[in-house]
Amino acid sequence: MRIITRIKGKKSYYYLQHSVREESKVHTREIYLGQTIPKNLEQIKKRLLKEININLYKKFESIQGHFQTEWRRIPSSAKEQELRNIAIAFTYNTNAIEGSTITLAETRQIIEDKVAPNRPLRDIKETENHSKVFLAMLEKKQKISCKLLLEWHKNIFSETKPDIAGGLRDYLVRIGPDVAPDWQDIQRLMNDLMKFVHQKNMNPVELAGRAHFIFESIHPFGDGNGRIGRLLMNYILWHTGYPMLIIEYAKRSSYYKAFTHSEEGFLQYFIRRYLAVHKKRLK
């Protein structure tokens, strides 16, 4: 959001402008401020954001409605296979982002056929365990809590990283070039995050995006933060009736880059990806 100046003759006119990118198009909204910048500028900014968010929320609700209609059409006997297909795609991509050597075809072999490829045992176990956690997460709705996230972490990494599985870190780590929050602050930060995810006044798509960013900023685990953060994001979406978002391995560069921005910057990326992935459900 920015203030722009247009000069006509010898007079200056101020406008408040905000742009939102959706796929390859940029949509811009403007509010005329006058020949001087008004004192209630912050209130005007909030009004503009509210108007933009109302339009976004309508799109999110359209996606939710179409998804629920599609899901109801699927016979019960076919839903189990559909969920396995989602688990395969999500597990492959989320693990590949973190360096797993398992291919998409091999992920299917591990999950569906129980066949282990000629790959590192660690990658095989984390693929197998992640898919189990993911499917169990979809099947059973539980209150999001620090304990629940610790259980996910333990169940995924207990066989490959037993020294850190299911426990918050108690040492400093880096997130790229930056130092993550001090380990002594993690429990407090996680408690704040749990309060945040249980609020009632935010659209679930926005909530999922913000929760993911905040979780990754806390970086509560010694390893596996990305995978748990993406599970949390999709848990929020699924259990509020919205289709999930799989961050594709092929698009990891833009995903990584989004985390170098502020929370608002990351949210803009997240919304663009969500609308792009589910654009057919907007019709």
Catalytic sites, residue numbers: 219
Helix axes 204-218, 225-238, angle to 10 degrees: 160
Cβ within 8 Å of residue 187, ≥6 positions away: 146, 168
List of E strands, 46-186: 174-175, 178-179
Is pLDDT of 31 > 70?
Answer: yes
Q: How buried is residue 18: exposed, middle or buried, by Cβ count under 10 Å (0-12/13-18/19+)? A: middle
Q: How confident is the model at residue 40 (pLDDT cuts 50, 70, 90)?
A: confident
Arithmetic mean of pLDDT over the chain? 91
Short-list 28, 29, 32, CA closest to 5: 32
Q: How confident is the model at residue 21 (pLDDT cuts 50, 70, 90)?
A: low
What single-letter amino acid sits at 58? K
pTM, to two decimals: 0.84
Integer Cα distance of 53 and 190 in angstroms:
27
Name 22's bridge partners. 25
Q: Calculate mean pLDDT across residues 77-84.
A: 93
The per-residue pLDDT for range 127-177, each reduced to its tens digit, is: 999 999 999 999 999 999 999 999 999 999 999 999 999 999 999 998 878
The per-residue pLDDT for range 89-125, each reduced to its tens digit, is: 999 999 999 999 999 999 999 999 999 999 999 999 9
The pair of structure tokens assigned to 253 is 């560069």
pLDDT at 3: 83
The per-residue pLDDT for range 230-271, each reduced to its tens digit, is: 999 999 999 999 999 999 999 999 999 999 999 989 998 999
The per-residue pLDDT for range 171-190, each reduced to its tens digit, is: 999 887 888 999 999 999 99
pLDDT at 80: 92
